Chains A and B, each alone.
Chain A
Amino acid sequence: MVSQHGILLAVGIISDHFGPLVAKVCDCLLRHGELSLQEIVRRLELSPGQVKNSLLVLIQHNCVQAFSAPKGRDRTVTLYLAIFDNVLHRLRFSKFLSVIRADIPESEVLIEGLLQNGRLTFDQLVGRTISKVPEGSIRPAREEIRMNLNKLVHAHFVERCPKPEPFIDPLVVQQPTSSRRRAPKNFEKVISLEQKIVNTADLSDAERFSEIPYIIEDASDVNGCSRDPVDSAKRKRGAFEVDEELNSTIAENEVLWRANFEQFTFCLKKKFCADRKKLKLKVGTHPIWESFCEANLTEKDTDSVTSPINGILERLRQKEGGASMTLDQVTRVLEDLQCTTSNENPEAYTFDLRKMVESCRNEEIESLVKKKYGQAAFTIFRLLVTQGGPVETDQIIDTTILDKQIVHSTLYKLWKDDYVDTEKISSVAGTGYAQFYVWRAKSTFREQFIDNLYHAALNLRQMVNYIAELLLEGSKDDTKLRNRKNILILALTRHDDSLMLFHDF
């Protein structure tokens, strides 16, 4: 379940981008989960037309997924579900763009088109790309655009849109058919309904990332053949009076393309981890770490980075000071950097991003505890987190070697602000004490931290909007206001790294 401030933030983003009406529909879906058109109309007291249009906008921008579910014995109903993650991704389009700018610069204009418009056909992309070319420059050929799009598809930055309205029986557990959110078995989480629906709507990996073939010159042909199975299956499933109209508007007889946020998130996650790790590296190990990151080719899943040793060495040779390093030295450093080899493939080194992300999250929370409550609180909190279970007051005093009074007052502060929990335990007779207290880190401190992150982002956005209003009024010093606005926007972009760390990585 998304936290309260998470919803407020998402709704704020939608309101800024698409206006209050669409935001209302989005808010309704985020708060109540999947709903049918009629239910939304009833709850919001809007006209069906208004709701339908709002849903169209949200679907177009990948913020809502429709699906049909059984209703009674042999009828189905179309339900709409807001995809919270995709709404928040709207905050970071500039980051996604810079990933492409660095990786496949020639395709930047295409990805920009998809981010701005949500879903586009190849024809639309061609039209848009050509219209963006400044007067007097050479217009790119359709073939060139096709190749640039294929590069994005090949690198999984762009995908074919999911099925417009898959059939989902909430009672039947669905196995993911695509690589989305594929987690190692022992980490498999309980899949939320949202995830289940996204998984079902996804095409198989082969379909999602199949490029536009060369032979087909006319885009409509491509669309005709690749879309067929999905569309006919949909038709077979029967009549959805109102919703069919809605769906057919979205899923025309053409292939729609969209940005694959998952791949962008993975790239940003890798970059985040690489940068974070850099700060901790010892002298002389920088080139090795960089080479390891650059040599990453194979992607088993989104939780690790694997690079072959040959690739690492090859990159290393090109770096300053890298040529003189022996294989022995390199492998030793890699091991020290927690890059491991497996029995199946002793020639490749894997770095566990999940572990790194986890420790970064802990560091963030601990750092805040230190800033807010001081060094003693930091030590005590870390003790409680690492112990995992309840720890008695005297044991805390002993282990941390801190003054008793300080421990008591700090524990009280942490307890008051919901970081720790306490329990009174009656003592066995004869120990000289009637009772003692045990403490443990609260299981909810992380959710609370995340909610605060959303709240802070919400406030930053509110300030940006507030300053924008002041600018419009024009009553105050323009330059100063503009400066402040830029500071806020920059802070929001940085703050978004925290949101991603805790929510998306």
Chain B
Amino acid sequence: MPPRKRPLEPSSGKPPPPDVKAIVPPPSDPPAAAQEIPPISAAILNNLPGPEREVYKRVYAAGNKGIWSQDLRHSMQLAAPTVTKLTRALVQRGILKEVTDVRHRGKKVFMDSRMEPAPEITGGTWYHNGQLDTEAVAAVRRRCLDQIDRLGAATPDMVHKGVEREDPRAGYMIDQIRDILKTMALDRVLEECRSTGEGEFSAVRSGRVCYRRGGAPQGGMIEGIPCGVCPRIDECSPDGVISPTTCVYYKKWLQMDF
């Protein structure tokens, strides 16, 4: 099995080798640093009564991935109502928070309120409150397409720079842009290709993976006839109950109403 991709890999710190030829300056901004985990708070620990302190310790230990209330209950060997009471008290005091796990929306997951939930829990950058932010995705797709239209053929790096230049506050990371470009290639909106370094690729170093417009969609020859898209084709036979001569789709298509 390939490893799960959802947690975004923190960038290695070194700027990536330039995709573009010297006319464009190499990237200078350092990549965003990984989220810092705050140390466990002694003040909180000292102020909490025994059982609540125990709960807090365990929730803290689960880090930014949080802990499921059931797991908490099992590990502490307590009854469900007791755990509920303890966690509720801690949430009310602002020490813990409840977060939505994108993979299991029904589960109650608790986390130290000073921590930011891990992308695995939130679903990553394109998720908001456990829901896919389709508008944000659509917006960044539009921006990427604008850049491709402007540049002709471009590497993810070039697209990223272009987007940043147009809207410095947008704050997309290069990995996000790369992911978006990949889905657009899957959708055939874009085409992934290797630069030859010449012609429309003259701005891109030869051999680099880059993207360009995918061209008009092709195919669909079979869709012009009723049987091509028919949901009942498996039940249709020359002399069967469903057959071309009794077929409603054909009647409609040929306007056989006479």
Stretch at the interface among A75-83, A217-225, A366-374: A366-374
| Nearest Cβ on chain A to B175's Cβ, whole angstroms | 12
Is the pair B258, A480 in contact by a Cβ cutoff of 8 Å? Answer: yes
> Known interface pairs A394-B6, A404-B132. Does A456 touch B103 (Cβ–Cβ under 8 Å)?
no
A-B contact pairs, 26 of them (CB 8 A): A279-B215, A279-B216, A280-B218, A364-B221, A368-B219, A371-B223, A379-B183, A382-B188, A392-B2, A394-B103, A398-B179, A400-B186, A404-B102, A404-B132, A456-B225, A456-B227, A462-B238, A462-B243, A462-B245, A463-B245, A463-B250, A487-B254, A488-B254, A495-B224, A495-B225, A498-B221
Whether, in the assembled complex, B42 has its beta carbon less than 8 Å from a beta carbon of chain A, the answer is no
Whether, in the assembled complex, A336 has its beta carbon less than 8 Å from a beta carbon of chain B, the answer is yes
What are the residues of chain A within 8 A of B102 when measuring CB–CB?
Answer: 404
**Bound-complex Cα distance A491 to B253 (A):** 12
Whether, in the assembled complex, A458 has its beta carbon less than 8 Å from a beta carbon of chain B, the answer is yes
Q: Which residue of A lies closest to B225 (CB)?
A: A491
Whether, in the assembled complex, A181 has its beta carbon less than 8 Å from a beta carbon of chain B, the answer is no
Is the pair B256, A379 in contact by a Cβ cutoff of 8 Å? Answer: no
| Nearest Cβ on chain A to B253's Cβ, whole angstroms | 9
Q: How many residues of A contact B (CB 8 A)?
A: 58
For B102, B126, B186, the residue with the greatest tally of chain A CB atoms inside 10 Å of its CB is: B186
- Residues facing B in A469-499 (CB within 8 A) are 476-477, 480, 484, 487-488, 491, 494-495, 497-498
Q: Which residue of A lies closest to B230 (CB)?
A: A456
What are the residues of chain A within 8 A of B219 when measuring CB–CB?
Answer: 360, 363-368
Residues of B that sit less than 8 Å from A by CB: 1-2, 4-6, 68, 102-103, 124, 126, 131-132, 134, 137, 179-180, 182-183, 186-188, 196, 198-200, 215-225, 227-229, 231, 233, 236, 238, 243-245, 247, 250, 254, 256, 258
What are the residues of chain B within 8 A of A463 when measuring CB–CB?
Answer: 244-245, 250, 254
Residues of A that sit less than 8 Å from B by CB: 8, 276, 279-280, 332-333, 335-336, 360, 363-368, 371-372, 375, 378-379, 382-383, 386, 392, 394-395, 398-404, 425, 432, 438, 452-453, 455-456, 458-460, 462-463, 466, 476-477, 480, 484, 487-488, 491, 494-495, 497-498, 501
Additional pairs, 15, CB under 8 Å, beyond known A455-B227, A494-B224: A279-B215, A279-B216, A371-B223, A372-B229, A379-B183, A394-B4, A398-B124, A399-B183, A404-B102, A452-B227, A456-B228, A459-B236, A462-B243, A466-B244, A495-B221
Q: How many A-B contacts are there with CB distance less than 8 Å?
A: 142
Is the pair A401, B179 in contact by a Cβ cutoff of 8 Å? Answer: yes
**Bound-complex Cα distance A453 to B224 (A):** 12
| Nearest Cβ on chain B to A2's Cβ, whole angstroms | 17
**Bound-complex Cα distance A366 to B214 (A):** 15
| Nearest Cβ on chain B to A393's Cβ, whole angstroms | 10
Which residue from A382, A459, A491 sits with its C-beta under 8 Å from B244? A459
| Nearest Cβ on chain B to A191's Cβ, whole angstroms | 29
**Bound-complex Cα distance A386 to B217 (A):** 17
Which residue from A360, A372, A392 sits with its C-beta under 8 Å from B218? A360
Is the pair A386, B258 in contact by a Cβ cutoff of 8 Å? Answer: no
What are the residues of chain B within 8 A of A453 when measuring CB–CB?
Answer: 222
Which residue from B186, B200, B224 sits with its C-beta under 8 Å from A336? B200
Is the pair B228, A368 in contact by a Cβ cutoff of 8 Å? Answer: yes
> Known interface pairs A462-B238, A466-B244. Does A371 touch B218 (Cβ–Cβ under 8 Å)?
no
Is the pair A383, B221 in contact by a Cβ cutoff of 8 Å? Answer: no
Q: Which residue of B lies closest to A488 (CB)?
A: B254
